[in-house]
Amino acid sequence: QLTTGQPNVCIVGAGPAGFYTAQQILKGNPNAVVDIYEKLPVPFGLVRYGVAPDHPEVKNVINTFTQTASKDRCTFIGNVTIGKDISIADLQKAYSAVVLSYGADNDRLLGVPGENLKNVISARSFVGWYNGLPQDIDLQVNLDVEKAVIIGHGNVALDVARILLMPIDLLKKTDISQHSLDALSKSRIKEVIVIGRRGPLQVAFTIKELREMIRLPDCKPVLSQADFIGVDKLIQDLPRPRRRLTELMYKTCMEPTDKDVKLWKTAQKSWSLSFCMSPLEIFGDKDVTGLKLGINKLQGEDLVKQSAILTDQTVDMSCGLVLRSIGYKSIVIDPDIPFDTKSGTIPNKDSRVEGKPGMYCTGWVSTGPVGVILTTMNQAFETGKTVVKDINDGILDLTKPGKSDIFNILNSKGVQTVSFKDWENIDQFEVKQGEDVGKPREKMVDISQMVSVAKK
Q: Is 81 in the site for ligand FAD (CB under 6 A)?
A: yes
**Binding-site member from 22, 82, 184, 445 for ligand FAD (CB under 6 A):** 82
Q: Give the strand pairing for 147-151 and 321-324.
A: parallel
Q: Which residues lie below 8 Å from residue 375, measured CB to CB, with a gap of 6+?
A: 367
Measured from the Cβ of residue 93, the count of other Cβ atoms closer than 10 Å reads 12
Which region, judged by CB under 6 A, interacts with ligand FAD, from 43-51, 223-231, 260-268, 309-317?
43-51
Q: Are 127 and 159 in contact (CB under 8 A)?
A: yes
Q: Given candidates 103, 279, 290, 294, which one binds ligand FAD under the rule CB under 6 A?
A: 103
Give the shortest CB-44-to-ligand FAD separation in angstroms: 7
Residue 25 binding ligand FAD, by CB under 6 A: no
Specify the residue, 273 or 380, whose C-beta has the smaller distance to ligand FAD.
Answer: 380
Q: Does 16 bind ligand FAD (CB under 6 A)?
A: yes
Q: Is 17 in the site for ligand FAD (CB under 6 A)?
A: yes
Contact pick of 28, 56, 83, 338 for ligand FAD (by CB under 6 A): 83
CA–CA separation, 352 and 346 (whole Å): 10
Tell me the closest approach of the beta carbon of residue 211 to ligand FAD, in angstroms: 13
Draw the binding track, 121-150, toward ligand FAD (x: CB under 6 A; -: no contact). Answer: ------x-----------------------
Site string for ligand FAD, 402-431 (x = CB under 6 A): ------------------------------
Q: Which of 96, 101, 180, 351 lies at the binding interface for ligand FAD (CB under 6 A)?
A: 101
14: contact with ligand FAD by CB under 6 A: yes
- Residue 49 phi/psi, 5-degree rounding, is -110, 0
For position 333 contacting ligand FAD by CB under 6 A, the verdict is yes
Judged by beta carbon, residue 68 or residue 296, the one nearer ligand FAD is 68
18/114 with CB nearer ligand FAD: 18
Residue of 7, 24, 26, 37 interacting with ligand FAD (CB under 6 A): 37
By CB under 6 A, residue 55 contacts ligand FAD = yes
**Closer residue to ligand FAD, CB minimum distance, 62 or 304:** 62
Nearer to ligand FAD (CB atom), residue 376 or residue 417: 376
Residue 399 phi/psi, 5-degree rounding, is: -100, 5
Q: Are strands 8-12 and 106-107 parallel, antiparallel or unpaired?
A: unpaired
DSSP type of residue 409: H
Q: Cβ 341 to ligand FAD, closest distance in Å?
A: 17
Question: Which of 76, 228 has the CB closer to ligand FAD?
Answer: 76
Q: How many residues bind ligand FAD (CB under 6 A)?
A: 35
Least distance (Å) between residue 326 CB and ligand FAD: 12
CB of 221 to ligand FAD, least distance (A): 20
Residue 136: φ, ψ to 5°: -110, 0
Q: What's the min distance (Å) between Cβ of 172 and ligand FAD? A: 20
Query: Minimum Å distance from CB 199 to ligand FAD?
Result: 24
Nearest to 147 by CA among 91, 105, 195: 195
* Part in contact with ligand FAD (CB under 6 A); list of ranges 169-177, 194-202, 213-221, 372-380: 372-380
- Binds ligand FAD by CB under 6 A, chosen from 35, 38, 191, 390: 38
Residues in contact with ligand FAD by the rule CB under 6 A: 12-18, 37-40, 45-46, 50-51, 55, 58, 81-83, 101-103, 105, 127, 156, 159, 328, 333, 363-364, 371-373, 376
